[in-house]
A and B are shown apart, each in its own frame.
Chain A
Amino acid sequence: MKARQLVILSGKGGTGKTSISASLAGLARRAVLADCDVDAPDLHLILRPGVISRERFVSGYVASIDGGVCTRCGRCIQECAFSAIDEGYSVDSVACEGCGVCELVCPVGAAKLSKSECGEWFVSGTRFGTMVHARLDPGRENSGRLVSLVRSKAIEIAERESSGIIVIDGPPGIGCPVIASVSGCDMALVVTEPSMSGESDLLRALDMVSHFGAAAAVIINKWDINAKIADRIEATCGDRGVPVVGRIPYDTAFTQAQIAGLSLLEYGEGAAVDGTRDACTRALELIES
């Protein structure tokens, strides 16, 4: 049977997404883990993976201009849609999107594209299962492609290991890396916080999830910071037919567990730990059904 894919999202950053992903990873049985937040991956700080294999990520292209051949005619600067070439005819490799227009229009062959190495991906062992994770080099584009790679490797490994579930720690936001982590998933679990920003970001995240055809569920973290908004969020989810699988009270245990390098459920006891365990258990039951 194909492994279920559960992606944990937040829309807004800082709601506790990765802490909850770590807890889910611990609770799920026969899970493969994927950290798809390739811009700022944090799951490894709790799961402390032992790297089994690593590979550089080559994706896309980057342009360079041979100063010895260049006649400074300016056509490349004129045609570059990304303002990636400066008056000194050197290419800003961060702005360059590797489209090839400069190579196309250069009359003397001074502008050339070459393959761009822009990150690294890993397959590792952790105490909760095999984990696929990656790091995009700072300032790079193509994070969507790296996310797709991490996901497809996780799917391959899940097939090999006959895993029942892939737990995916997703990126914040709603743009291309998030889309790459959501499309094709069975369920997106959105972790929110009861603030006006959290609420507004949650709605955009839910819109994005339904746009890409996945089921959704919500966890309200730090709910007691603002009980009124927590209730409002719960009501809105009810109206949209999105189940709220749990509420977790604000607790510095989230930070302390992180500092101890443990998932919340390994770290200790208390209302937040119980709330997290209940919410995660319910989320796992939902995705199995």
Chain B
Amino acid sequence: MKIAITADRKGDGAQVDPRFGRAKYFAVCDTDSGECEYVDNAQNLNAMQGAGVQAAAAVAHTGAEVVITGNCGPKAFASLGQSGIKVVVGASGGVAEVLETFKRGEYEYADQSNVEGHW
């Protein structure tokens, strides 16, 4: 399946971007092949309002079934849920390691957002 990991840069060395809505990139990874495609989230970086939900839509369009990130606000969380996308929060470290940790089934899905939204 496909999962989306928020990333602070493209390619090797990419680390989990702690913010969901204003992440620089989404690493959209195929858990079978281990390959990751990087999707640019630039248009939401400077958005002051609504970034989280726009990012959620962008992720939904990639076909990812899971999001792994540091922090996710309530509106983004609800939007992802409505699209049937599960969310893991509190993740950190390299994108490659995070993918492996996920494949080993070591992450728990969040049942709610873990930070307040910003207006």
Question: Are A and B a genuine interacting pair, yes or no?
Answer: yes
Chain A residues within CB distance 8 Å of chain B = 58-59, 142, 144-145, 147-149, 151-152, 176, 179-180, 183-184
Per DSSP, chain A at the interface is: helix
Contact partners of A58 in chain B: CB under 8 A = 46
B119/A59 in contact, CB under 8 A? no
Interface string of B23-42 (1 = CB under 8 A from A): 00000000000000000000
29 A–B contacts, CB within 8 A, in A order: A58-B46, A59-B46, A59-B48, A142-B48, A144-B48, A144-B49, A144-B119, A145-B48, A145-B49, A147-B119, A148-B48, A148-B49, A148-B118, A148-B119, A149-B48, A151-B118, A152-B118, A176-B119, A179-B119, A180-B118, A180-B119, A183-B116, A183-B117, A183-B118, A183-B119, A184-B115, A184-B116, A184-B117, A184-B118
Contact partners of A151 in chain B: CB under 8 A = 118
Contact partners of A149 in chain B: CB under 8 A = 48
Identify the closest chain B residue to A155 (Cβ). Answer: B118
Contact partners of B119 in chain A: CB under 8 A = 144, 147-148, 176, 179-180, 183
CB B116 to nearest CB in A, in angstroms, measures: 3
Contact partners of B46 in chain A: CB under 8 A = 58-59
Q: How far is the CA of A58 from the CA of B48 in the complex (A)?
A: 10
Q: How far is the CA of A176 from the CA of B115 in the complex (A)?
A: 20
Number of interface residues of B (CB under 8 A): 8
CB B97 to nearest CB in A, in angstroms, measures: 23
Q: How far is the CA of A179 from the CA of B46 in the complex (A)?
A: 19
Task: Please report which residues of chain B, range 41-79, place their CB below 8 angstroms from some CB of chain A when the two chains form the complex.
Answer: 46, 48-49
Identify the closest chain B residue to A179 (Cβ). Answer: B119
Identify the closest chain B residue to A144 (Cβ). Answer: B119
Contact partners of A152 in chain B: CB under 8 A = 118
| Apart from A59-B46, A148-B49, A184-B116, 4 more pairs, CB < 8 Å | A59-B48, A142-B48, A145-B48, A148-B48
Q: How far is the CA of A97 from the CA of B9 in the complex (A)?
A: 33
Contact partners of B48 in chain A: CB under 8 A = 59, 142, 144-145, 148-149
Q: How far is the CA of A45 from the CA of B40 in the complex (A)?
A: 42
Q: Which of B115, B117, B119 gathers most chain A CB within 10 Å?
A: B119
Interface string of B78-119 (1 = CB under 8 A from A): 000000000000000000000000000000000000011111
Identify the closest chain B residue to A147 (Cβ). Answer: B119
Contact partners of B117 in chain A: CB under 8 A = 183-184
Contact partners of A144 in chain B: CB under 8 A = 48-49, 119
